[in-house]
């Protein structure tokens, strides 16, 4: 029964969190050298199994391309390791002798990792590695359609970590995931931070859990081919990017925006590189398989090839077709080609001028990709800078493959499988999430400045009055001194008591 499966899933999650917390408490005592040795061993083990895990992922999910998933696994293991291996994440990580400040890193504790079906093994490896690097433990909830490959990736990481000296249980998972268990995982009292990669509803649940959470939004990425671009080179990169793993990376280009004076060149090059331009009748057929209800992507096309999607729509295309393209003049949830499609399908918009191109890009982002990414092909640096200043995105890829450029494979961006969308997309960060996002920093600061603290006016008035009274006492005492040096002690005592009583009453 489904109810019993939910209970089993929840119990498995609770057990995994308990083991993870106990292991993390032991892991707290590990030095930077011990942590780095563990992370290096895990990265090597995961990298060695990149192909095997890619094959498992494609077989289990029915999405993507083995060779492309292998590359993502290599980015999630080796490239991520190279980017974090020299970072200090244990103990004193920075000392500022000039300002007499010392920074000390400490971990969150136990991380809840939510893994998508589109990138199940690479994301699992990546999240496990950045957790280990920062002395956190992690418990993962795989996508139900990608359980076996995700768990296998985690087992490889866990076994390598233990062999390198890590406490057993530092990496945990739910082998029978359910929505109930995932929701309870995010709210569990011993979970300290959430790394949520998945659909919008899941990310919103992470943010409403009451825990610190790194979530990511949708990536309805516009791609503007500006008139100064090298059209042939740009189109080749765009087709390669769009067909990479059948479009399953959220930073993949979704719609093309092209200046009118080069649009025919772009269409010609699209055809040269495996693009199929749909006619009006074919476009209508493909629209019916992109969305079954307005604004909701049909999950059956996610990660599928252009040829398979065409077959689903009843459209005949050449055997070498890599992407399907339809000319479009509208943007909206009721316009299937304008939404995020997570498959090798493009909308093609023609802009009469530069300002109209910017408007198309903004409308597409506002439909569902604010904060994520934008792709631009241009040889005009001024255009690139203007887009960087004006577009509501967290990363702008220029003259490269947007899909793998955003995750750091072809750019200088931090290698990551979790791409923040910042305040534009309702996220806490606009960064490519990595190890530095899983440590807290405490600061020790010595005093280096002298300040004069002004006293409240009332207190200053009292002190002034007291000073004046004391001066009067001294004056009267001196008057009481006889010529031969004798003092009337009784008289002086009475005067002092009188002044003290007056001061206390004030």
In this prediction, residue 440 has a pLDDT band, given cuts at 50, 70 and 90, of: very high
Q: Is the pLDDT of residue 475 over 90?
A: no
pLDDT of 199? 76
Across residues 474-490, what is the average pLDDT? Answer: 60
Answer yes or no: are the C-beta atoms of 421 and 394 closer than 8 Å.
yes
Q: What percent of the chain has pLDDT over 90?
A: 83
Q: Is the pLDDT of residue 324 over 80?
A: yes
Token pair for 250:
């959220």
Contact indicator for 104, 151 with CB cutoff of 8 Å: no
Share of the chain above pLDDT 70, in %: 90
What is the pLDDT, as a whole number, of residue 481?
57
The band of 4, judged by pLDDT with boundaries at 50, 70 and 90, is: confident
Tokens representing residue 151 in the block: 């768990």
Q: How far apart are CA 66 and CA 52, in angstroms?
A: 9
| pLDDT 10s digits, 269-306 | 999 999 999 999 999 999 999 999 998 999 999 999 99
Which of 193-197, 232-236, 300-304, 460-464 has the lowest average pLDDT? 460-464
DSSP assignments along 311-330, one per residue: HHHT----TT--EEEEE---
217, pLDDT greater than 60: yes
Judge contact between 198 and 113, C-beta under 8 A.
no
* Residue 43 contacts residue 388 (beta carbons within 8 Å): no
Find the mean pLDDT for residues 46-53: 98
CB atoms within 10 A of CB 237: 24
Give residue-wise pLDDT tens across range 362-417: 999 999 999 999 999 999 999 999 999 999 999 999 999 999 999 999 999 999 99
pLDDT greater than 70 at residue 23 = yes
Tell me what pLDDT residue 15 has.
Answer: 97
Is the pLDDT score of 448 beyond 70? yes
With a cut of 90, say whether residue 497 has pLDDT above it.
no
Is the Cβ–Cβ distance between 6 and 178 less than 8 Å?
yes
- Taking residues 480-503, what's their average pLDDT? 61
pLDDT in tens, 81-135: 999 999 999 999 999 999 999 999 999 999 999 999 999 999 999 999 999 999 9
The pLDDT, as a whole number, for residue 479 is 63
pLDDT at 59: 98
Neighbouring CB atoms inside 10 A of 14's CB total: 17
Q: For residues 131 and 109, is the Cβ–Cβ distance under 8 A?
A: no
> Which secondary-structure segment (H or E) carries 46?
helix 32-48
Residues 27-40 have pLDDT tens digits of: 999 999 999 999 99
Domain 2-112+119-193+207-214, CATH class in plain words:
alpha beta
> Order of strands across the sheet with 323-327?
275-277, 323-327, 345-351, 253-259, 221-225, 371-377, 393-398
Interval 186-208 mean pLDDT: 90
**pLDDT value, residue 504:** 56
CB-based contact 371:425 (threshold 8 Å): yes
- How confident is the prediction for the chain on average, in pLDDT? 92
The per-residue DSSP string of 398-438 comes to: ESS-HHHHHTTSSSSSPP-S-B--TGGGT-S--SB--GGGG
Q: Is the pLDDT of residue 240 over 70?
A: yes
Q: How remote is the C-alpha of 389 from its chain's centroid?
A: 21
The whole model's pTM is what?
Answer: 0.88
The pLDDT confidence band at residue 484, using thresholds 50, 70 and 90, is low
pLDDT of residue 204 exceeding 90: no
Name the nearest CA neighbour of 106 among 87, 93, 124: 93
CA distances for 380 relative to 29, 226, 227, angstroms: 53, 9, 9
**Confidence category of residue 166, pLDDT binned at 50, 70, 90:** very high
Over residues 57-73, mean pLDDT? 97
CA–CA distance, 136 with 25 (Å, rounded to integer): 9
The C-alpha atoms of residue 274 and residue 337 are separated, in whole angstroms, by 19
Q: Is the pLDDT of residue 154 over 70?
A: yes
- Domain made up of 221-426: CATH architecture: 3-Layer(aba) Sandwich (3.40)
**Mean pLDDT (whole number) for 468-487:** 59
Please give the helix or strand (H or E) that residue 496 lies within, else none.
helix 489-505
Half-sphere exposure of 105 (CA within 13 A, CB side): 23
> What confidence category does residue 176 fall into, taking pLDDT thresholds of 50, 70 and 90?
very high
Lowest-pLDDT choice from 197-201, 320-324, 468-472: 468-472
DSSP 246-312: GG-STTSEEEEEEEGGGHHHHHHHHHHTTEEE--HHHHHHHHHHHEEETTEE-GGGTT--HHHHHHH
Q: What is the pLDDT of residue 222?
A: 98
Region at 226 (left for phi over 0; alpha for psi -120 to 50; beta for the rest): beta
Q: What is the spatial distance between Cα 254 and Cα 229, in angstroms, rounded to a whole number?
A: 19
Neighbours of 478 (CB within 10 A): 9
* The predicted structure's pLDDT at residue 480: 59
Residue 130, C-beta contacts closer than 8 angstroms, at least 6 positions apart: 80, 84, 433, 434, 435, 437, 438
In contact, 435 and 443? CB cutoff 8 Å:
no
Cα–Cα separations (whole angstroms), residue 250 to 153, 253, 419 = 21, 9, 9
Report phi then psi at 500, rounded to 5. -65, -45
pLDDT at 455: 73
Q: Which residue has the higher pLDDT, 491 or 292?
A: 292
User: Which residues are annotated as catalytic?
Assistant: 250
Band the pLDDT of 470: cuts 50, 70, 90: low
């Amino acid at each position: 029964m489904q109810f019993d499966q939910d209970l089993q899933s929840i119990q498995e999650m609770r057990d995994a969190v308990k083991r993870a917390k106990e292991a993390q408490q032991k892991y707290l005592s590990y030095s930077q050298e011990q942590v780095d040795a563990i992370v290096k061993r895990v990265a090597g083990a995961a990298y060695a199994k990149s192909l095997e895990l890619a094959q498992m992922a494609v077989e289990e999910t029915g999405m993507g391309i083995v060779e492309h998933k292998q590359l993502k696994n290599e980015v999630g293991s080796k490239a991520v390791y190279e980017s974090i291996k020299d970072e200090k994440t244990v103990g004193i990580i920075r000392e500022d002798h000039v300002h007499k400040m010392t920074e000390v890193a400490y971990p969150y504790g136990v991380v809840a990792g939510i893994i998508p079906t589109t990138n199940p093994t690479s994301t699992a490896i990546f999240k496990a590695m950045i957790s280990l690097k920062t002395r956190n433990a992690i418990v993962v909830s795989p996508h139900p359609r990608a359980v076996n490959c995700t768990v296998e990736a985690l087992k490889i990481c866990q076994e390598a970590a233990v062999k390198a000296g890590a406490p057993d249980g530092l990496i945990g998972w739910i082998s029978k995931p359910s929505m109930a268990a995932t929701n309870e995982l995010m709210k569990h009292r011993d979970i300290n931070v959430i790394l949520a990669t998945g659909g919008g509803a899941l990310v919103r649940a992470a943010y409403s859990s009451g825990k610190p959470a790194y979530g990511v939004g949708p990536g309805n990425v516009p791609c503007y081919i500006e008139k100064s671009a090298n059209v042939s080179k740009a189109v080749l990169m765009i087709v390669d990017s769009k067909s990479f793993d059948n479009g399953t990376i959220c930073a993949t280009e979704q719609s093309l925006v092209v200046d009118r004076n080069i649009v025919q060149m772009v269409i010609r090059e699209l055809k040269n590189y495996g693009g199929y331009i749909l006619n009006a009748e074919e476009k209508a057929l493909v629209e019916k398989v992109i969305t079954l209800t307005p604004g909701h992507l049909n999950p059956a096309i996610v990660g599928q090839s252009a040829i398979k999607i065409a077959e689903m729509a009843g459209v005949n295309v050449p055997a070498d077709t890599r992407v399907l393209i339809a000319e479009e003049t509208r943007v909206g949830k009721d316009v299937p080609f304008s939404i995020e499609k997570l498959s090798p399908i493009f909308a093609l918009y023609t802009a009469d001028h530069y300002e109209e191109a910017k408007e198309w890009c903004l409308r597409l982002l506002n439909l569902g990709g604010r904060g994520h990414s934008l792709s631009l092909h241009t040889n005009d640096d001024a255009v690139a800078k203007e887009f960087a200043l004006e577009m509501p995105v967290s990363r702008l890829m220029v003259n490269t493959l947007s899909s793998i450029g955003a995750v750091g494979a072809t750019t200088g961006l931090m290698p990551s499988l979790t791409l923040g969308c910042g305040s534009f997309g309702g996220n806490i960060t606009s960064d490519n999430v990595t190890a530095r996002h899983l440590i807290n920093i405490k600061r020790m600061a010595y005093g280096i400045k002298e300040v004069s603290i002004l006293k409240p006016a009332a207190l200053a008035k009292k002190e002034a009055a007291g000073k004046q009274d004391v001066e009067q006492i001294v004056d009267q005492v001196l008057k009481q001194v006889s010529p031969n040096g004798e003092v009337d002690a009784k008289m002086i005592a009475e005067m002092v008591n009188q002044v003290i009583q007056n001061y206390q009453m004030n």
